[in-house]
Amino acid sequence: MSHTAHIRSHRKPRRSASTIAMRTGVAGGVLSTLAVAGASGSATAAEPVTQTLELPTLTADLAAQVAHSADVTQQAASSYELRAERDAAAAKAAKQAKADLAEAKKKAAEEKKKAEEAARKEAAERASRTAERTTLSASADTGSAASTGSSSVAPPASGSAAAIVSFVQAQVGKAYVSGATGPSAYDCSGLVQAAFNQVGISLPRVSQAQSTAGTQVGLDNLQPGDILYWGGAGSAYHVGVYVGDGMFVGAQNSSTGVVEKPLSYDPPSGAVRVL
């Protein structure tokens, strides 16, 4: 045996013709497929592709949901509108309440001011009367007559004087209001003017003019129906009516109203006789 009998030959075995033919056919088929694919790709690239998107059809359920959403939106809008109206009404009411409160405070302040003014006026009148009495230079006899009411010896009132006396005495107890001429309230000259109107006599409206409306008479010679005044003739600040028996009736002030008092309560400065 040769010493090379067991060594495998290094030559590559020859391939059979059938194997080579099969491989050639496969390769040709692959190339053909690639060629067809390439042609197809070229054609596709040459022509643009148009896609059509189909929108979903609105079904009954979707329509119901849309309608419900619209209802909810409308209800919310109505709710907001109602709330806005309520808020506006509340704001308007608050504004009106504020205005009413301011008006009430204003009226209260005005009333308080009027009351304070009336009190100051009354105090000023009292002070003026006191000063006037202090500075009067009346004679001792006249002062005595005014204090004791010696004019009470005068005869009782009759005729027009009686009517005037009766009227002023009927007003006793009524209120004093500055500028008032009756029938429920008077100031001093308003009462005197109203009394003489009862007998057809028209007197001036204010006390200064009434203190010179007739003949000046002494306080020791008074008769019922005479006009008493406080202060100077022509500058009097208060008037009343002598009713006899040393008494007079006058609308004194806002505290006392219309009263009947003795001459000693507030001695007058002088008197005039109109009747």
pLDDT, one tens digit per residue, over 150-186 is 444 556 667 899 999 999 999 999 999 999 999 999 9
pLDDT at 32 over 70: no
The rounded Cα 164 to chain-centroid distance in angstroms is 48
Alpha-carbon Rg for the chain, nearest whole angstrom, is 62
Evaluate whether 206 touches 189 at the Cβ level (below 8 Å): yes
Segment 44-69 shows an average pLDDT of 62
**Average pLDDT taken over every residue of the chain:** 77
Token representation of residue 200: 């057809």
Q: How far is CA 155 from CA 63, 145, 204, in A?
A: 114, 16, 28
Q: Output 142 or 265, whichever has higher pLDDT.
A: 265
Question: Please, what's the b/e burial string for 49-76 (b: 16 or more CB within 10 A of its CB; e: otherwise)?
Answer: eeeeeeeeeeeeeeeeeeeeeeeeeeee
The CATH class of the 139-273 domain is alpha beta
pLDDT at 81 over 90: no
Segment 259-270 shows an average pLDDT of 96
Task: Report DSSP state, residue 221.
Answer: G
Cis upstream peptide for 183 (omega within 30°) = yes
Q: Output 216 or 37, whichever has higher pLDDT.
A: 216
Sole residue written with tokens 């190339």: 31
pTM: 0.47
Segment 117-131 shows an average pLDDT of 65
Segment 203-225 shows an average pLDDT of 97
Q: What is the per-residue pLDDT for 11?
A: 54
* Confidence bin at 53 (pLDDT 50/70/90): low
Domain spans of the chain, in order of start: 80-135, 139-273
Residues 6+ apart with CB under 8 A from 209: 203
